[in-house]
Amino acid sequence: MSRFHVSITPDPDSAAGRPRSHLDMPSSHNKYSVLLPTYNERDNLPIITWLLAKTFREHGLDYEIIIIDDNSPDGTLEVAKQLQRVYGENHIVLRPRAGKLGLGTAYVHGIQNATGNFIIIMDADMSHHPKAIPAFIRKQKERDYDIVTGTRYTAGGGVYGWDLRRKLTSRGANFIADLLLSPGVSDLTGSFRLYKKDVLHQIINATVSKGYVFQMEMMVRAKQFNYTVAEVPITFVDRVYGESKLGANEIAGYLKGLWTLFTSV
Ligand SMILES: Nc1nc2c(ncn2[C@@H]2O[C@H](COP(=O)(O)OP(=O)(O)O[C@H]3O[C@H](CO)[C@@H](O)[C@H](O)[C@@H]3O)[C@@H](O)[C@H]2O)c(=O)[nH]1
Ligand SMILES: [Mg+2]
């Protein structure tokens, strides 16, 4: 029987009334490394950092935030350095790169020095809210899942603030990947995910994509390796500050990557 198993939690906030400390496991020695890729996120970074620190602190969880900035012209790295002074080098780790080298390779770069046994991948622009993280962790513990992925496209999830064109792009990207590759996950292009570090390492080593298509390929590889994947509904709210970096190049890269996977996997 395949170990690939998808389970859906009806409501990510349903656990809100439970005991807070260590997410019900007082003796837990888990550490969570959050990978935050940034490109021109100067205005968002302090807010997301504050909310992440608050979430982990309130639940008594050990964490680090790894910021992978690609030499953003808006001075994001300077802001990150200030945050490091405030929160400490044990909580904020800087892994800058010389230029904009793409989202997929940013994760590969970020994971290299991660000290947590779990890795959380999310956007830095507040579209992924840190308050959902406890639901990811609880879900992971339910059956010791290898991966927990946030989904916008199931009951309880959703997208707010996108225009029709962007909604169709996202739905289309998911539909065509599901049609061709059937990885069995309802949101293939979303990037709010929790991985066991060893699992992420193995999947990353097998992954060839460099840009946004990376997220989708990761789920295809997870299926290939028979890892267990659980889903948690999330609400994606479009950014307030700054702009999306998803352009025509990324869409073309997605289609190319999809075709490569279809013909090789
Ligand atoms: N370091 C680095 N960071 C990057 C790069 N490109 C984007 N980022 C960062 O990656 C995060 C997501 O980028 P956005 O530009 O905000 O993406 P979006 O349009 O909101 O993307 C949504 O759709 C994507 C494709 O479906 C999803 O992958 C993403 O999670 C989200 O749902 C942000 O923190 C952004 O700063 C890059 O080349 N380098
Ligand atoms: Mg965004």
Note the pLDDT tens digit of each residue in 103-133.
889 999 999 989 999 999 999 999 999 999 9
Phi, psi of 3 (to 5 degrees): -80, -10
Note the pLDDT tens digit of each residue in 191-247.
999 999 999 999 998 988 888 898 999 999 999 999 999 999 999 999 988 999 888
pTM of the model: 0.89
- Please indicate whether residue 68, judged by its CB atom, sits closer than 6 Å to ligand 1: yes
Helix axes 214-224, 164-181, angle to 10 degrees: 20
Query: What domains, with CATH codes, occur in the chain?
Result: 30-264 (3.90.550.10)
ipTM of the complex in this document? 0.95
Return all residues near 59 (Cβ < 8 A) that are at least 6 apart. Answer: 20, 21, 22, 23, 134, 137
Closest ligand to residue 215's CA: 1
- Please indicate whether residue 39, judged by its CB atom, sits closer than 6 Å to ligand 1: yes
What span, in angstroms and rounded, lies between the C-alpha atoms of 123 and 48?
Answer: 9
Closest ligand to residue 39's CA: 1
Return all residues near 162 (Cβ < 8 A) that are at least 6 apart. Answer: 170, 238
The two three-digit tokens of residue 26, written as one number: 């007082």
Instruction: Give the residue, out of 49, 234, 246, 251, with the most ligand 1 atoms within 8 A of its beta carbon, to mutate for a pocket test.
Output: 246
- Under the banding of pLDDT at 50, 70 and 90, the label for residue 15 is very low
Q: Is the pLDDT of residue 26 over 80?
A: no
More confident residue, 4 or 158: 158
- Under the banding of pLDDT at 50, 70 and 90, the label for residue 12 is very low
Count of C-beta atoms within a 10 Å radius of residue 99: 6
- Please indicate whether residue 103, judged by its CB atom, sits closer than 6 Å to ligand 1: yes
For the chain, the farthest-separated pair of C-alpha atoms sits apart, in whole angstroms, at: 51
Return all residues near 185 (Cβ < 8 A) that are at least 6 apart. Answer: 6, 149, 151, 219, 229, 231
The two three-digit tokens of residue 37, written as one number: 């890729």
What span, in angstroms and rounded, lies between the C-alpha atoms of 103 and 110?
Answer: 11
Q: Is the pLDDT of residue 25 over 90?
A: no
What span, in angstroms and rounded, lies between the C-alpha atoms of 102 and 110?
Answer: 12
pLDDT value of position 5: 59
Of 135, 168, 169, nearest to 151 (Cα)? 135
Q: What is the mean pLDDT of the chain?
A: 89
Give the full edge-to-edge strand order of the sheet including 147-151: 92-94, 62-69, 31-38, 118-121, 193-196, 147-151, 229-233
238 alpha carbon – ligand 2 mean position (Å):
6
Residue of the nearest CA to atom 26 in ligand 1?
Answer: 189
pLDDT value of position 10: 45
